[in-house]
Amino acid sequence: MRQQAVTNSGITVQHTDWNDLSQAVRDLVEARTGPVRAARTVSAGLNSQLAAVLDTANGPLFVKGLRTDHPGVVRQHGEAMINLHVLSLAPQLRWQAEGAGWNLLAFAYIPGARHADYSPGSADLPVVVQVINRLQEIPCPELPVKRAEQRWAAYVDNPDLGLLTGATLLHTDFNPLNVLMTAHGAWIIDWAWPTRGAAFIDPACFLLRLMLAGHPGRSISLLSRRTGPSTAQNGRREHEDRSPG
């Protein structure tokens, strides 16, 4: 069975179930996991042609993938590249594989997780703010990631491009589908566009999502005062040593 999801840009992504993959692709996965005893397609994802939770002898695993001729494969390489640097707030990448026409990423599965609720009054909001603040404290590693002043040059007057420069590691897409909630806190997933830039950019991206979720101006103003690197230290210890990997 194939399912469709529509991205924010209006592009339709066809989800492929595990049983619809060719035997060669399943062999590629099982060479790393052992026999897959059951599989469940994750329908919420917007950017992956394969997004499935696999039940393996070594426990559950989340596997996402794109066909190698898909232009989005570059995003998967970016996500794999940055993973080691964000393990305090993102699921661990177990392996990356390419073969049989597919590029695949396998991540530690987070049991009991659900997508964040951004609606006004949601108890998730302070927890999401906390994880964004913790991200603000991670300096961008010396890797070939995009720079904010390059990514958004077409949308900013040239004299103002300097406002976007900085040394902070940015996620830039705080769609609630990209934030997983558990009893222990929040995890940021789908690192398709790791970016180096000014520290205000991620909080600004989050606040735009709050507007879309129907927050009044006063609520957004209050939350904006709670985001930023100066507020990150207090919540940092609570999430340490809780990596799902």
My answer on whether 99 and 71 are in the same domain is yes
Do 81 and 58 lie in one domain? The reply is yes
| Res. 219: pLDDT tops 90 | no
Domain that holds residue 120: 114-239
End residue of a domain, out of 80, 108, 136: 108
pLDDT band at 236 (very low <50, low <70, confident <90, very high): very low
pLDDT, position 234: 38
What's the rounded Cα separation, in Å, for the pair 58 and 32? 10
Residues 135 and 232 in one domain: yes
* 99 and 49 in a common domain: yes
Contact criterion met (CB below 8 Å) for 172 and 82: no
Residue 245 resides in a domain: no
Is residue 228's pLDDT more than 80? no
Q: Tell which of 46, 80, 108 closes a domain.
A: 108
- Band the pLDDT of 229: cuts 50, 70, 90: low
- pLDDT tens digits, residue range 11-21? 457 889 999 99
Statement to judge: residues 89 and 173 lie in one domain:
no
Q: What is the pLDDT of residues 149-190, one digit of tens each?
A: 999 999 999 889 999 999 999 999 999 999 999 999 999 999
Distance CA 148, CA 117 (A): 27
Condensed to tens digits (0 to 9), the pLDDT of residues 73-124 reads: 999 999 999 999 999 999 999 999 999 999 999 999 999 999 999 999 999 9
Instruction: Using the 3D structure, point to which of 108, 140, 172 is the last residue of a domain.
Output: 108
Let me know whether 73 and 31 are in one domain: yes
Whole-angstrom distance, CA of residue 45 vs CA of residue 57:
25
Question: What is the rounded CA–CA span in Å between residue 205 and residue 150?
Answer: 17
**CATH number, residue 134:** 3.90.1200.10
**pTM for the structure as a whole:** 0.86
Is the domain of 99 the same as that of 130? Answer: no
Claim to verify: residue 94 and residue 148 sit in the same structural domain: no
Same domain, 6 and 64: yes
For residue 149, the SS3 value is: helix
Sign, Cα dihedral of 238, 203, 146, 191: positive
Residue 30 binned pLDDT confidence (cut-offs 50, 70, 90): very high
